[in-house]
Structure 1
Amino acid sequence: MNPLEKINIGVVGVGHLGQYHVKHLSKISGANLIGVFDSNNKRNNSISKQYNTRIFDNLNSLIQSCDALSIVTPTQYHAEIAEQCIRSNKHVFIEKPITVSLSEADNILRLANNSGVIVQVGHIERLNPALLALDSYTLKPKYIEVQRLAPYTTRGTEVPVVLDLMIHDIDIVLALVKSQVDTIHASGLSIMTDSVDIANARIQFVDGTIANITSSRIAKDKVRKLKAFQNEMYVTIDFLLGLTEVYRIVKNKGPKGLAAVPLNENEGNKQIIYEKPPVNSFDPLRMELSNFIDSIKGKTKPIVSGSDGREALKVAIQIHEMIIKDLH
């Protein structure tokens, strides 16, 4: 494909999140927003007027008019819509989680591989500026602690907290740890809904790394924090505040101007320094969708591939099933 050509793209589902896909795709220079399809006519009309885009009265018409589709529907419809798109040789961006089941995800990946189309999954926290601020550091964490807490709302309660909130952090942990999952221990409770509302998972990897992840949708305040510990370095990330901090040991004097504390009296040439790497200001969803467009053009690869989405789903399902088994 000519990298200068615009990618004709449509959005399937223009609810709470889908409207932001429309907003950004209407502004990305390499994209040409063809139109939208949603089962809710009121939402269709509102989005059409706001962004001056076409409403399609059936999904197939939109698919046939596009090079690529952004799928922002409830998760239970992801597989059916993605398969229809891929069978028509269209690239797909699928909001997280990729599908409800592993078999659905496997089928999508098989079809995409046979068709040669791009599948990207919307794990937006992978593009959080506070996480990307660590790109200049070599991360080899041995212990990771993550908290993702949210106040209760009625939206999204049909999805277990593991597949709604925790899966963000599962994806981040799998990206940070270059090893296979060995064992998982999980527990959780249903508090406000019939589904699991609070969950904790301890994931041990083959190389010995431990990740402890807690997610809740019945907290008083929003919390999205990650701490990672490795040999001679400790990092903290506050995804909400956009704050990244690094504590590490250096030999002799640290970089000029940084606060330093001697490690101990016996190792006077080693110091603990504190760094606050700059966190750039940008919209992660805009960057995510731009990455999708550039991947279609062959300029780069998806930051979160279909396979990545599948692996995060696999671990999330294991955790959820373990919790459900204990609850019953």
Structure 2
Amino acid sequence: MTKLSAGVVGAGAFGRIHARKYAEDARVRFVGVYDPDDERASELAKTHGAESFANLDALIAAADILTVASPPSFHGAAAKRALEAGKHILVEKPLATDVETGAELVRLAHERKLTLGCGHQERLVFEAMGLLSAPETPTRIESVREGPWTGRSADVSVTLDLMVHDLDLALQLMKRRPAGILATAKSEHGRTADRIEARLAFAPHAEAVFISSRIAKERRRFMRAVYPSGEVNIDFLARTFENSTRFKINPNFAETRIGSDPLGANVAQFIDAVLGVAPRPAVTGEEALAVLELALDVDRASGLPSLS
């Protein structure tokens, strides 16, 4: 079987993980990476015996599939150039930083019959748990996703950086968009929100409350989902949960292939979709666009911009 040639745009934390996943997949030949930081790109390429490309177009020309793991404000432009060149793309979250660009990526992928996936990895954790197929719909969701300042993804709001995970999960669990949004935010390191609290009203009588911060004292990642028959409390860091509902959740989800490595599973399913083994990537461009639209609505409700 002819191997797919894979490249990664961005040699930061996520770019390094995607590069390793491609290098470990027998169906793929990892050809290299592009990053404006030549030293960082060269170091990553050397790790996998690959090439550090001098510019984005050279990497695009050499690859069949690409991950875009650059800073979020560059996601849209890099993905557009790759799609226009006929390449399949997996974009780390968020899909883009404005709805127009996100919609254009979806349109290009559809018109050119290309696979467009997005890196909302927590979705796969819920899949491994069995929550996405639960027989009930939540009446309330509470989520906290916060950690200390690292400077990573500082070009966008904490909404586009962190809260997008929980917004995606809420859309999957509620199976509809919210009817109303209230939000308050504060910034410490620029124009965009570094901490934001959002309350989303879902018709007819459900709501979700999200707190996301990148200026907290410690890392916390948890969600509480209240259902008609009970509630589910999830600790994303410990990969544990408590369930008092009538429906079952996989108690060993953290030991499954997907639950133990959701990013790796996302990359693998993206490759499956490109090869025609799977009908779609784990998170489609259309689904990622819906999350982007909601995240931008939250920022607008807070009164702070989405981009620095």
Q: Do they superpose with TM above 0.5?
A: yes
Deviation at 1:194, TM superposition (A): 3.5
| Contact persistence 1:131–1:237 (CA under 8 A) | no
1:315 aligns with 2:280: no
What TM-score do you get using the length of structure 1 for normalisation? 0.85
Cα distance, 1:131 vs structure 2: 6.1
Greater helix content: 2
Aligned position for 2:64:
67
Structure 1, unaligned runs of 5 or more: 251-273
Change in Cα spacing, 1:172 to 1:275, as seen in structure 2 (3 Å) is closer
Aligned residue for 2:85? 88
Could you tell me which of 249, 259, 262 is aligned with 1:284? 262
- Give the conservation status (yes or no) of the 8 Å contact 1:244–1:279: no
The equivalent residue for 2:129 is 133
1:158-173 → structure 2 map (5 Å cutoff) = 158-173=155-170
Partner of 1:175: 172
**Cα root mean square deviation, aligned:** 2.1
Instruction: Quote the residue 2:35 is aligned against.
Output: 38
**Cα distance, 1:249–1:296 mapped onto 2, change above 3 Å:** closer
CA displacement at 1:233 relative to structure 2: 2.5
C-alpha displacement at 1:139, in angstroms? 4.1
Select which of 256, 271, 276 maps to 1:298.
276
TM-score (norm 2): 0.91
Task: Give, in angstroms, the shift of residue 216 of structure 1.
Answer: 1.2
Cα distance change, pair 88–140 in 1 and its aligned pair in 2 (3 A): same
User: CA deviation digits over 1:16-53, x for unaligned, max 9?
Assistant: 22111111110012222122111111012211221111
Amino acid at match of 1:306: G
Q: Deviations 1:173-218 (Å, cap 9, x if unpaired)?
A: 1111112321111111124543212111111123432111111122
Amino acid at match of 2:181: I
Tell me, yes or no, if the aligned pair for 1:134 and 1:277 is still in contact at 8 Å.
Answer: no
Aligned residues: 299
Q: Is the 8 A contact 2:73 2:155 kept in 1?
A: no
1:242 counterpart residue number: 239
1:253 alignment partner in structure 2: none
Aligned positions of 1:172-211 closer than 5 A: 172-211=169-208
Relative to structure 1, the CA distance from residue 288 to residue 107 in structure 2 (aligned partners, 3 Å threshold; closer, same or farther) is same
1:93-172 to structure 2, matched below 5 A, reads 93-128=90-125, 132-135=128-131, 137-172=134-169
Distance in 1, Cα, partners of 2:141 & 2:24: 37
Partner of 1:20: 17
Whether the 8 Å CA contact 2:32–2:50 is kept in 1: the answer is: yes
User: Quick check: 1:245–1:275 contact (8 Å CA) kept in 2?
Assistant: no
1:226 and 1:78 mapped to 2: Cα distance?
28
Query: What do residues 85-141 of structure 1 show as CA deviations (whole Å, max 9, x unaligned)?
Result: 11111110111111110001011111111101011011121123x662234743411
Distance 1:296 1:113 in 2: 13
Kindly provide the amino acid, as one letter, of the partner of residue 316 in structure 1.
A
The percentage of counterpart residues that share the same residue type is 30
Cα offset for 1:13?
1.1
Q: Matched residues in 2 for 1:289 and 1:98: separation?
A: 15
Q: 5+ residue gaps in structure 2?
A: none
Contact between 1:7 and 1:68, CA under 8 Å: does it hold in 2? yes
Q: Show the 5 A alignment for 1:43-54.
A: 43-54=40-51
Query: Aligned equivalents of 1:196 and 1:56: distance in 2?
Result: 34
2:213 to 206, 211, 216: 216
- CA deviations on 1:214-261 (whole Å, 9 max, x unpaired) are 1112211111101111111311110000002210259xxxxxxxxxxx
Is the Cα–Cα contact under 8 Å of residues 25 and 32 in structure 1 kept in the other structure? Answer: yes
Letter of the 1:305 counterpart? T
